[in-house]
Amino acid sequence: MNTFAEPTWGIPQEALEPCSSFYLGGPSPFLLSGVFLRLLQYHFSHADNIEEPLLQEYIWTPSTGECIAEETTDSEGASQIIPGSRIQIRPSYSQRGPASQQPALYVKRESFTNERISFQDASLPGRNRSGVYEGMEYQTNIRGSHNIICTGGTGAEAELLGQEIFFRMLHYQPIIKKDFHLGTLMTTGVSEARQRQETPKASFYTVVGLDWAYVYKWLVIPESPVIKRVAFEFR
């Protein structure tokens, strides 16, 4: 008869993983800018992700200058050209110098507001898993928007970039909303192609609008007042 040794048990593992900051308090508007930025960079990092055939050469690569070509020198001192990113994707405040004819996508955060959920303060007693009172839990509705500015050397280029981004966000907005715990995410539309007047060279742009909102929660934990010292005087 075969006998088997009793298995040895190791250190027990934690079954519950800590919640992310997106789940606990909702994504901040600054973090949402990074989310939209990374999604655009990922979309243009491979030609198979791009639906428009005329844009499948607009590949984004994380090069230093994000330019079409960079000039460097090899080990023997000879000059060589290294292909760079065919499209720039960055926040709107990091635009370097005047706009050029190179295609680019700029993520711009618009203003966000605080909206009361009800006429009364939306507050509940905050309790932990053991049912112990920890403080008052408050919540409010944060609503804002982002614009994705699609620039190109021609009006057709700006039109195609805006169309590509619009349908990309439209198709995946339910997944983005779920993954980043948003209350709502709506791809509102894409503007007509407009020419930029402040640049000497011809440059056009379209704007894709994104509206979002989520419930922001926080806990106010009261602290017990410090007991004052009492002096006794005996007579």
28 vs 100, which has greater pLDDT? 28
Parent domain of 189: 21-220
Backbone angles phi, psi at 38, to 5 degrees: -70, -35
- In a domain, residue 211? The reply is yes
Backbone angles phi, psi at 157, to 5 degrees: -65, -45
Compute the C-alpha angle 192/98/160, nearest 5°. Answer: 30
Helix (H, G, I), strand (E, B) or coil at 224: coil
pLDDT tens digits along 156-180: 999 999 999 999 999 999 999 998 8
How many other β-carbons are positioned within 10 Å of the β-carbon of residue 124?
A: 11
Whether residue 85 contacts residue 102, with contact meaning beta carbons closer than 8 Å, is answered with: no
- In a domain, residue 54? The reply is yes
pLDDT tens digits along 62-73: 864 444 444 445
How many other β-carbons are positioned within 10 Å of the β-carbon of residue 150?
A: 29
- In a domain, residue 6? The reply is no
- In a domain, residue 40? The reply is yes
How many other β-carbons are positioned within 10 Å of the β-carbon of residue 1?
A: 2
Q: For the whole model, what pTM was predicted?
A: 0.72
- In a domain, residue 1? The reply is no
- In a domain, residue 189? The reply is yes
E strand or H helix at 31: helix 29-43
- In a domain, residue 227? The reply is no
pLDDT of residue 1: 64
Q: How many domains does the chain have?
A: 1
